[in-house]
Structure 1
């Protein structure tokens, strides 16, 4: 009797233990579900269900999720392992605008902005400006804007005009001028730093890095008495009444004269300039007028000039030295008959 009881208890024990094993095998499986575009994590369990069942249990619409996400396991396959981790990658719509160019729209399952830019082979420099961070999650309809910022360094040279200093010289006839020292322009050298955003200048900074001072020009201005030349003395002696140097004249005029020499051009009247050719303002002295200029001699008005205005007469000389020697003189010009 005792032996029979022991066997019965043993069988009962085996049956109980076997039931426990079967019950354990039928336990719910814990599942952790993450979304690539959300911070929220879903933890649930299923007995013998699928990912779709687990999500539906937590109040999600599997059909809607299937159109938006790509899972790391099959949607409708049974979950067999306890502690299964599932990631739902969002197939998100993203717009991308780089360097002010036209916006592009596309789909991506990359989890972060950095991963998406790497996928698109877009390089972002340290100086560039972006409206998102590299570790920011990709969400549906995310707009990413990258402004390309560039710094350009250049040198700019600006000339500095020289001053002209005038000094009186009693050894020069009054009114005459002579350059004693030629002037020389200076320069300011700047470093210009320009910031460009998408190819357009936004900020410019100019810094002086070097300066070369100009050299002033020194001009001697005659303050002495005008010297009368031998020819002028002769003219004075010969002039009497309406004659000058034996030539009849009909009127006189005060004139400012300057010397010039050959330029290779014909005169305004088509002649080749020679000594005795003078340039005049035709509104004051008509072309073809015969003149007498003390110290120069007889002349004919055959030419004009851009700087010959009013009572100004330019006298032609055969050489540059003669023209320079004459310089600028105020004389009484005689209009011959």
Structure 2
């Protein structure tokens, strides 16, 4: 073999060795990217697994961090490794606050990680689509709706009829009133067990009320025993007795300076009565049925309330009169 031929063979073998070495290098060297949070790192490595390439690039992974694909996955050229670092968030739910270590992208992811279920009514702050950040505070408000039915009375109305055949001040109950009943249904909205809203959804009358009917006397006049028409302000039944100006009734003798003098300063006489001024004002004219018209000018220590004392000039007549119930009218 000539020298020239030997040189050609050597050149060919050298080229083959170079090409083979290059192919092996390219086969072993893998280009990939590591995405860490918002940063993407381009890496060229001879490492064989995800764990090895992360250690090679001094990327620390805690037990709560999420790595995709997992740490023991064999590396391939063009592979993307996604790392989600775990962080703390505060979660308030069902009356309890706790710290959660999460790698979730959103509030929805966090709740899914923690197996927390929501009803259609529950409220979440911030929203489910909120992108989680370290030290976020998540609050879940449990919302419930219930229907409650309550009974309520319906008051009756008092209808008044004025009757000219009844004396003024007299009241007659024609029909007794009775309350009705209705049922009210409310939607009760509670948040975390506390009522926040009450909405009336229905109202049903179970029993109608019965109105009360009364008659009130409007007749304000009488015809006296003398045939006179006199108007009056009120009528009443009183307990009547009789008295004289003497010592037996008043404790005064004729020599007393106030003997026979009324509380109004007038002298007692036929037609004077003693009254309780709180019931019958002094100076009033009073018609006593079957006895005529008298004038209230005197008072007495025992004359209180619906009582009167009729003056008589004879002690035997006063004693004979005794005590009796009489109907009287206070005249205008």
Band of TM-score, shorter chain: 0.5 to 0.7
2-structure distance, mates of 1:68, 1:168: 89
* 2:64–2:102 contact (8 Å) kept in structure 1: no
Give 1:98 deviation, angstroms. Answer: 1.4
Deviates more, 1:80-89 or 1:144-153: 80-89
1-structure distance, mates of 2:55, 2:113: 33
Q: TM-score, normalised by structure 2?
A: 0.54
CA offset digits 1:176-213 (Å, max 9, x no partner): 32211222334555443343222333333346634576
* Number of aligned residue pairs: 242
Higher-Rg structure is 2
Deviates more, 1:147-156 or 1:66-75: 66-75
Q: Among residues 23, 26, 30, which one is paired with 1:24 in the alignment? A: 26
Give 1:7 deviation, angstroms. Answer: 5.6
Q: Among residues 292, 296, 301, which one is paired with 2:323 in the alignment? A: 292
1-structure distance, mates of 2:43, 2:9: 40
Give 1:141 deviation, angstroms. Answer: 1.9
Aligned to 1:155: 149
* 2:275–2:304 contact (8 Å) kept in structure 1: no
1:215-226 counterparts in 2 under 5 A?
215-222=210-217
Aligned to 1:47: 45
Aligned to 1:122: 116
Structure 1: gaps spanning 5 or more residues = 57-61, 228-238, 257-281, 286-290, 296-329, 333-337
2-structure distance, mates of 1:156, 1:120: 40
1:11-160 counterparts in 2 under 5 A?
11=13, 14-27=16-29, 29-35=30-36, 38=37, 40=38, 42-49=40-47, 50-52=52-54, 55=57, 62-63=59-60, 69=65, 71-72=67-68, 80-99=75-94, 101-109=95-103, 112-134=106-128, 136-160=130-154
Give 1:164 deviation, angstroms. Answer: 1.8
* 1:156–1:191 contact (8 Å) kept in structure 2: yes
Structure 2: gaps spanning 5 or more residues = 224-239, 251-272, 280-301, 306-321
Relative to 1, partners in 2 of residues 1:125 and 1:249: Cα closer, same or farther, differing over 3 Å? farther
* 1:46–1:54 contact (8 Å) kept in structure 2: no
CA offset digits 1:291-311 (Å, max 9, x no partner): 83428xxxxxxxxxxxxxxxx
Give 1:72 deviation, angstroms. Answer: 5.0
1-structure distance, mates of 2:303, 2:124: 72
Q: TM-score, normalised by structure 1?
A: 0.53
2-structure distance, mates of 1:183, 1:8: 129
Give 1:45 deviation, angstroms. Answer: 2.2
Relative to 1, partners in 2 of residues 1:112 and 1:54: Cα closer, same or farther, differing over 3 Å? farther
CA offset digits 1:85-133 (Å, max 9, x no partner): 323242321211114x242123345555334324434222221221234
Aligned to 2:177: 183
SS in 2 for 1:166: strand
1-structure distance, mates of 2:130, 2:242: 107
1-structure distance, mates of 2:85, 2:26: 35
* 1:170–1:222 contact (8 Å) kept in structure 2: yes
* 2:31–2:78 contact (8 Å) kept in structure 1: yes
Relative to 1, partners in 2 of residues 1:109 and 1:166: Cα closer, same or farther, differing over 3 Å? closer
SS in 2 for 1:52: helix
